Amino acid sequence: MRESDPFERVADILRDFIARSAAHDANDEFVSENFVDLKNARLMSAAVPVELGGDGLDQQNLSDLLRSMTRACTSTALAYSMHTHVVALLAWRWRNQKAPVDAVLKRIAAEQIMLISSGGSDWLESSGTAERVDGGFLIKGTKGFASGVLAGTLLNTSAVYNDPETGPTVLHFMVPLNAKEVTIETNWRAMGMRGTGSHQVHIDGFFVADAAIALKRPRGNWHPLFHIISMIAFPLIYSVYYGVAEAMRDAALDLVKRRPLTPQLIDLAGALDTELAAARVALADMLVATNGQPGPDTTNRMFQDRSNLARALLATADKALELAHGGGYLRTNPVERLFRDIQAARYHPLAPYAQRDLAGRMALGLPLDGKLC
């Protein structure tokens, strides 16, 4: 094995992921052993540039890595994607904007630490409060859907400061998860993706120094950072869901091949592969778009693809369950678990209404923020 090849390193641990996945799903347990394996295999730095000690994988290769991981354990792949997209974002900013993020990228490579994101639940509005004190801010808030938090080191998050001059302002910063002001409520009980450990994080009075504030922005408005996030994060997150659909397709076909084939079954198999093909086209376009420049046009393209991809993935899951028939309804078959897991594809930004609002504004030449005219 070449130490520098992350695909070989991940292949060495996937068999163990497969062996553990059903138990984690059945017991609502975080896939903690898998993240020990990922750290030992030095895979937390897959997206860190080579110059800073990582593997330097681009978006296409990261997508392929996530899809291979999904075949072994969907929850591990999804939680890993949440760390990886933050790292990929930092790497993009280091390369393209000369952002001073090399210290954290080097730390990820050297220590194999895990970054946790609250971005999906915070998004443009953010949540929690920042109180101005001497030298910085005191942060209070509860952050939900913090996937992988039990294995995490730093929480990449934000809070709202009511600036007396400029109004509600979102502050971005990182919080060490071992800080005394931080508690994790292990309350993740979900239909699917049960092993992601997407628990709530409570922050009560954590001090963030002025120098540690990475960004200040108006609350609720599109900021250039979110155009970069949209371009980098969502192709990686949805690569996992595409991998779920691929695995569900294969499991359903494996079941149906054991039965006498009929014209109806052949038609269902064709419908299944047609929906998966639509998903494949949407994901491929997302990955192509990551080679462009962040901005409203790329963001609009990403979220149109995200809507089309999610719709095709859910349709693929419906066809796979129909094709598998009663066997796919049983918890002893992977089709059942994969069907539950893929339902989470509905819930990442942007929700359908918000995506159509963005697309409509772009089509009509309206501002993305504020009043219509």
Three-state SS string over 32-52 comes to: HHHHHHHHHCCCCCCCCCHHH
Q: What is the pTM of this model?
A: 0.96
pLDDT at 4: 72
pLDDT class of 373 with cuts at 50, 70, 90: very low
* Cα–Cα nearest to 279, from 258, 307, 309, 306: 309
Residue 29 tokens, joined: 């347990």
The pairing of strands 167-176 and 215-218 is antiparallel
Question: What's the pLDDT tens digit per position in 84-127?
Answer: 999 999 999 999 999 999 999 999 999 999 999 997 889 999 99
Q: What is the pLDDT of residue 120?
A: 80
Please, are residues 321 and 273 in contact by the beta-carbon 8 Å criterion?
no
Q: Helix, strand or coil for residue 204?
A: strand
Q: How many CB atoms lie within 10 A of CB 201?
A: 22
One-letter amino acid of 343: Q
What region, left, alpha or beta, does residue 182 occupy, with left being phi > 0 and alpha being psi -120 to 50 degrees?
Answer: beta
Residue type at position 275: E
Name the residue with tokens 């896939």: 31
> Around 113, how many Cα atoms within 13 Å sit in the side-chain half-sphere?
19
Tokens of 110: 């050297």
Q: How many Cβ atoms sit within 10 Å of the Cβ of residue 103?
A: 9
Q: Judge whether 228 and 97 are in contact, CB under 8 Å.
A: no
**pLDDT tens digit string along 331-369?**
989 999 999 999 999 999 999 999 999 999 999 999 999
